[in-house]
Structure formats: structure tokens, C-alpha cells
Structure 1
Amino acid sequence: MRIIKPESLHLQAYAILKGEILEGEYRPGERIVEAKIANKLGISRGPVREAIRMLIQDGLLTYNDGYVRVYQPTLEDVVDIFQCRESLEALAVSLAIEQITDNEKKQLANNLELTYHAYQQKKSIELSKLDQEFHDIIIQASRNKQLIELLDVIRTKIHYMRITMVQGEFYPSFVSEHEKLIQFLVDGKETKATTLMKTHIQKGLEGVLMHIGNVQSR
């Protein structure tokens, strides 16, 4: 992919590079060379430098010992991120119960239908996108701007970890949990919704840790 428009070059470079990182085109720990990226995109190094700075802010790139590298999460990073996500998304679903619109409820129902279909066909990349969309709808429905901004960074790292560390795998009951979450939202059952959201995210963490453990034991 190359830059095709003259305006906002750094934003275009940022979007392209971020997409490539989240799709697993770069290995964790791989060095990112500014000149090579600029040449690949067909632009000067200035916009690429700004895009890299933005990705460092996102946590997808790191700067150490004079080199920029793709983020390589540790086990401690994984646990820390999921702990933050658990608390923040429990708050999000609690707020969403009061704020969610009929249109957002329809979006969740449509997402669930597509998720069941993708799960039956074992389409892991599509499942990952649908799972993120499901949580995004609930987060946006909270109407809390600060919460939305905090979770934006966290969800990006979660998606990256899933792609690079567990190849998009999902535990068997996650789809049915999405269905229950929607029902609790619609019925206004705040305690059940927040409890289930916490359990849902804890299971996600357990799945990641189990997969990492299996890989390391091979």
C-alpha cells in the first residue's frame, strides 16, 4: 500500500503502519527503519517520523537504545493490560445500560449474528474484528469520553497481543457470553452485566496465558 493523497501524510502513514503492525506483518521486536518505511510509502521521512512518534504513544512501537522496534509484550504486560481492561469495561457496560440507544442495540444484535457465523466457520481474523466491534459498541454507548480514550489504547494492545501471541484464538463460550451481555444490557441488569463482563475478560486472559504456556513448553 502506498500514499495516494497529498494531505495529512503523517496520518496516512500512521494508519498504514498501524494496520500492518496489527495484521502481524511485523514481528514483535522487529526494528522499524524510518528510511525504509518512507521509501515503501513513497514519501519523505518527516511524515514517517511523526507517524512513528504517534505509534510510540500508542504503545505499538518502542524506542530503546537508539532504535525503534515493534512492541514485544511480556507476560507481565499481558496481565497488566487485561486487569485494566477488566475494570474499565465493567464500568463501560454499567454506564451503557443507561445510555445505549435502540440503534446500538441493533448493532449488537447484528454483530452477534455475524459472530456466530464466523465462529462456526472458524474465521479467526473476522472473529477478532467482530469481537473488537462488539466491545467498541458497548464502550461508545457509555458516552464517557475519558473512558473511551483510555480504552482506545488498551483495546489496540489487546488486539495486537491476540494477533501476535495467540493467532486470534478464542475460547469456546465467548460467543454465548456476548449474547448474555446483550440480554443483560437490554433488560437493564447492571450487576449481572458488570459481573459477566469481568468474567468474560478474565477468561480471555486465561486463554492468552494458557496459549503462551503451551507454546513455551514445546
Structure 2
Amino acid sequence: MSRIIKPESLHLQAYNLIKQGILEGEYKPSERIVEAKMAEKLGISRGPIREAIRMLSRDGLLTYNDGLVRVYLPSVQDVVDIFQCRRSLEILAISLSIKNISKDEKEQLSRNLKETAKASERDIGIELGKLDQEFHDIIINSSKNHQLIELLGVIRTKIHYMRNSMVNGDFYPSFVEEHERIYKILLDGNEEEAEEVMRRHINKGLEGVLEHIKSE
């Protein structure tokens, strides 16, 4: 983890660094986050750390339990609830994307797929996770429905966290192929097929997380 650059806003830097650590698996589900130790690690006082912890709690990535701060450990029901919302919203997103996607956004998806294929060959899990999120974000934004984009933004961080911390690495090759299929169907403009493929894609993501939970 990088250290704090003091001229910048300290609590925002702390927030971004701790959040990055959680999303990239440096801090594990249910791991305790100790304010004093984190302040020492980042080289700042406890005040900005305290504010960063509050912000991360609002994001749902940290939880308070008996006075202790821990990294969020989703229950099975949490996972199901989040993915049910995601499935419905992303099915709508791809349906709207077929009608509204721009040429530039199509090119963004194409570049994303090329970068994803390269990352898959090198087996870089963190990079693949970021590219996975980017692929879905491009489709969501291309829907041009601002309320939909906002609603997905509310659960975006938790989805990213669940995928990175709770999905087996064997999942990545299959999602690369699925993204290529989604892209082709989107270009073809087959709305019904696109909705069905996105539904199966999200369901597979849910199954991957639940399988991880069962194996723990």
C-alpha cells in the first residue's frame, strides 16, 4: 500500500487507500481494522483515519460490531439480495444500451475485450476484476438512463468487493468468453437474446460467490 501525500486531503487519501486495499483483497472479510495501526501504517494521525472509516462504513465495506471495526463479511442473503438487484438492473441496462449505445462506447467495449484477453493470458486476477467492472460500466452508462446508472452506483462497490474477494480464479476465463458473446449480441441488436445472456451471466456470478461461501 502507498503512503499518504500530505498536501492532499488526508481523510480522502486514507479512504481511497483503505478502500483499494479492501477491494483488492489486502484486507479480508471479517478482518479487524484498528484505527491506531492504520494511522501508523499510513503515516498520519487517527482523525483522518476515523473519518475514512466512517465513509467506508457508509459504503458498506466496513462494519461496526461490539465497538470493533471489521471488513464487511456478506451473509448468503446479502449476496442473493445484491445480485437480484444487479440482475434486474443490468438486464434493463443492456436492453437500453442496444437502443442508445454510441460508436465511441462500442469502441470502448472492443478495447476492453482486447485488454481483458491479454490480462487473461497473463492470469492477472486484480486487473481482470477491474476490466470486468469496466465492461459492465460501459454498458450501464450507454443505457443513457441516469436513474438506472445512479441505482447501480449504489450497489457497485459491494458487487466489485464480492466478486474480487469471493469468486474463485477459475471464473475469469469463462467471463472473458461471456463478455465477447454479450458484445457480439449487443452489436447485432438482438434485444431479447442480449437480455437472456446478461441474465445467465449475472446468475453465474452469483453462483460463483455462493460456491465460495459454501467452501469456506
Shared fold per TM-score greater than 0.5: yes
SS at 1:63 equivalent: strand
Per-residue CA shift, 1:72-118, capped at 9, x if unaligned? 11222111111111011111112222222111111101111222233
Aligned to 1:18: 19
Measure, in 2, the Cα distance between the counterparts of 1:43 and 1:145: 38
Measure, in 2, the Cα distance between the counterparts of 1:168 and 1:56: 27
Aligned to 2:71: 70
User: Are 2:37 and 1:40 equivalent residues in the alignment?
Assistant: no
**Contact 2:31 2:71 survives alignment (8 Å):** yes
Moved more, 79-88 or 32-41: 32-41
Moved more, 13-22 or 24-33: 24-33
TM-score of the superposition, structure 2-length normalised? Answer: 0.90
Measure, in 1, the Cα distance between the counterparts of 2:54 and 2:137: 25
Measure, in 2, the Cα distance between the counterparts of 1:168 and 1:53: 31
SS at 1:27 equivalent: coil
Residue 4 of structure 1 deviates from its aligned partner by 0.7
Aligned to 1:129: 130
Aligned to 2:207: 206
Q: 1:63 to 1:146 in 2, by over 3 A?
A: farther
The aligned amino acid for 1:91 is L
Aligned to 2:175: 174
Aligned to 1:96: 97
Q: 1:73 to 1:169 in 2, by over 3 A?
A: farther
Q: 1:6 to 1:152 in 2, by over 3 A?
A: same
Aligned to 1:106: 107
For these two proteins, the number of residue pairs brought into alignment is 215
Aligned to 2:153: 152
Q: 1:47 to 1:147 in 2, by over 3 A?
A: farther
Q: 1:73 to 1:119 in 2, by over 3 A?
A: same
Aligned to 2:55: 54
Residue 172 of structure 1 deviates from its aligned partner by 4.8
The aligned amino acid for 1:59 is G
Identity fraction in percent: 67
**Contact 1:92 1:147 survives alignment (8 Å):** yes
Alignment RMSD: 1.9
Per-residue CA shift, 1:24-80, capped at 9, x if unaligned? 111211221222222222222222222111111111001122221110112221111
Per-residue CA shift, 1:134-159, capped at 9, x if unaligned? 11111121223332233234232222
Q: 1:6 to 1:121 in 2, by over 3 A?
A: closer
**Contact 1:171 1:207 survives alignment (8 Å):** no
* Runs (5+) with no aligned partner, structure 1: none
Q: 1:134 to 1:32 in 2, by over 3 A?
A: same
Aligned to 1:7: 8
Residue 164 of structure 1 deviates from its aligned partner by 2.3
Measure, in 1, the Cα distance between the counterparts of 2:7 and 2:37: 20
Residue 16 of structure 1 deviates from its aligned partner by 0.4
* Runs (5+) with no aligned partner, structure 2: none
